[in-house]
Chains A and B, each alone.
Chain A
């Protein structure tokens, strides 16, 4: 810790991710984005990069629960009939994604992660890892926009967020930025974030790494392993 202009500022990863003031925010690890048969695969996009992050996320989440860090599952949500989509958001969802291979991609239906459907559910591999997970529904890319996430985090003395999930350049990026704008230390677990568009994943991570700490989940787990277990 150092003092800057009269304020105490954390310096090391260990200080930043201390379990009592850290929340692991798991972004959109839902069937429609990460499971075969979900809307992403139905549309013809490749989820292998995203699926490769499931195992590291499971390890990180289990360790978080063990050491007493909060775990929050974010669920992207569309109300049936796209009731929660504004005209501008429908435009965003349906505009044609042009560009070179790796950037251009087939359309997904705006009816993705519809509340109450299988597509909306957290993937089986991550469901049930935490006894009483916090679940926050969101309707836009950032988990902070028009949700109760900020209320929950500040009600529980959270100072840092560790971000995992998908899609790197979309909901992960927006959530990471908003977390920092709401005055949380932000750590992205590099092996725990993924995208169907690897080129955009790389471009987004390049910018994010210039702003926030992007570290391997093993470093976070190592920092937690030095912590005494809660009684």
Chain B
């Protein structure tokens, strides 16, 4: 920790990811985007990198629970009858479809199997699930209220898709005054090229580390306070 302009600023990864003030945000690990029977895979999108990442994320969530962190899950959600789709957002999704990024806008629909979180990751009853209608989970959701209520200072971000909801959420988190840590081995996309480009930009702005790096810090901290 160092003092800058009269404020205490963390310096090391260990200080930043202290379980006392850190939340894990698991972004959009839902069936439509991450299951072989989901909308993306059925339309021929390659979700193999998302599938490969899931075991890392499962292990990380288990460790985070053991270390006592707040865990928040997000569900990208389109209300039924298109009620959360603005003309501009429809244009955005249709355009992304034309560019081979997503299979249209009829996915993650409220109340459907596609909207649900994949079976491998089982949110516990006490872990908040935040519905969002846009890429960033900081836009028009309850997330900030939940984080603030728990005096969270740092968010660790995992999930999908790297260049979309993960990057947007990371930017939102930083701009709402959280330290931001992104797990390189727990984020993925159906477009590997956009995943790589996004990680390059993210690493230039925020701490991009592996889940093992973070777990090692928790282990070190537990040993010191044992």
Task: Give A contacts to B, CB under 8 Å.
Answer: 4-10, 16, 81-83, 85-92, 94-95, 97, 99, 103, 110, 140-142, 145, 159-160, 169-170, 173-174, 177-178, 180-186, 197, 199-200, 203-204, 206-207, 210-213
Max chain A C-beta neighbours (<10 A), residue from B90, B191, B200, B206: B200
Question: Would you call B90 and A87 a contact (CB within 8 A)?
Answer: no
Q: Which residue of A lies closest to B15 (CB)?
A: A91
Number of B interface residues in the complex (CB < 8 A): 55
Question: Would you call B88 and A159 a contact (CB within 8 A)?
Answer: yes
Report the bound CA distance from A88 to B87 in whole Å. Answer: 35
Question: Would you call B7 and A87 a contact (CB within 8 A)?
Answer: yes
Q: CB of B160 within 8 A of chain A?
A: no
Kindly specify which of B68-76, B116-124, B176-184 makes contact with the partner chain: B176-184
Q: Specify which chain A residues have a CB less than 8 angstroms from the CB of B175 in the assembled complex.
A: 140-142, 145, 174
Question: Would you call B205 and A170 a contact (CB within 8 A)?
Answer: yes
Report the bound CA distance from A169 to B204 in whole Å. Answer: 9
Task: Select one of B92, B101, B135, B204 contacting A200, CB under 8 A.
Answer: B204
Q: Which residue of A lies closest to B154 (CB)?
A: A88
Task: Give B contacts to A, CB under 8 Å.
Answer: 4-10, 16, 81-82, 85-92, 94-96, 99, 101, 134-136, 139-140, 153-154, 163-164, 167-168, 171-172, 174-180, 191, 193-194, 197-198, 200-201, 203-207
Q: Specify which chain A residues have a CB less than 8 angstroms from the CB of B82 in the assembled complex.
A: 4-7
Q: Which 3 A-B pairs have the closest CB atoms?
A: A140-B175, A86-B177, A181-B134
Q: A110-B4, A177-B171, A211-B101 are in contact. List 10 more A-B contacts (CB 8 A).
A: A5-B81, A91-B9, A92-B174, A92-B206, A142-B172, A159-B88, A180-B92, A183-B88, A211-B95, A211-B164
Question: Would you call A82 and B204 a contact (CB within 8 A)?
Answer: no
Report the bound CA distance from A173 to B171 in whole Å. Answer: 9
Question: Would you call B94 and A97 a contact (CB within 8 A)?
Answer: no
Known: A97-B204, A178-B139. A211 touches B167 (CB 8 A): no
Q: Specify which chain A residues have a CB less than 8 angstroms from the CB of B140 in the assembled complex.
A: 181
Known: A8-B87, A183-B89. A177 touches B136 (CB 8 A): yes
Known: A141-B174, A177-B171. A88 touches B153 (CB 8 A): yes
Q: Specify which chain B residues have a CB less than 8 angstroms from the CB of A200 in the assembled complex.
A: 200-201, 204
Task: Select one of B87, B135, B194 contacting A177, CB under 8 A.
Answer: B135
Task: Select one of A7, A203, A210 contacting B201, CB under 8 A.
Answer: A203
Q: Which residue of B lies closest to A111 (CB)?
A: B5
Q: Specify which chain A residues have a CB less than 8 angstroms from the CB of B204 in the assembled complex.
A: 97, 99, 103, 169, 197, 200
Task: Select one of B10, B167, B171 contacting A141, CB under 8 A.
Answer: B171
Q: Which residue of A lies closest to B6 (CB)?
A: A81
Q: Specify which chain A residues have a CB less than 8 angstroms from the CB of B91 in the assembled complex.
A: 9-10, 16, 185
Q: Specify which chain B residues have a CB less than 8 angstroms from the CB of A184 in the assembled complex.
A: 88
A-B contact pairs, 25 of them (CB 8 A): A7-B86, A82-B7, A86-B7, A87-B8, A87-B153, A88-B177, A91-B16, A91-B179, A92-B205, A92-B206, A99-B204, A140-B174, A169-B204, A181-B134, A181-B136, A181-B139, A181-B140, A183-B86, A197-B204, A203-B198, A204-B201, A210-B101, A211-B92, A211-B95, A212-B92
Report the bound CA distance from A4 to B90 in whole Å. Answer: 8
Q: Specify which chain B residues have a CB less than 8 angstroms from the CB of A91 in the assembled complex.
A: 9-10, 16, 179
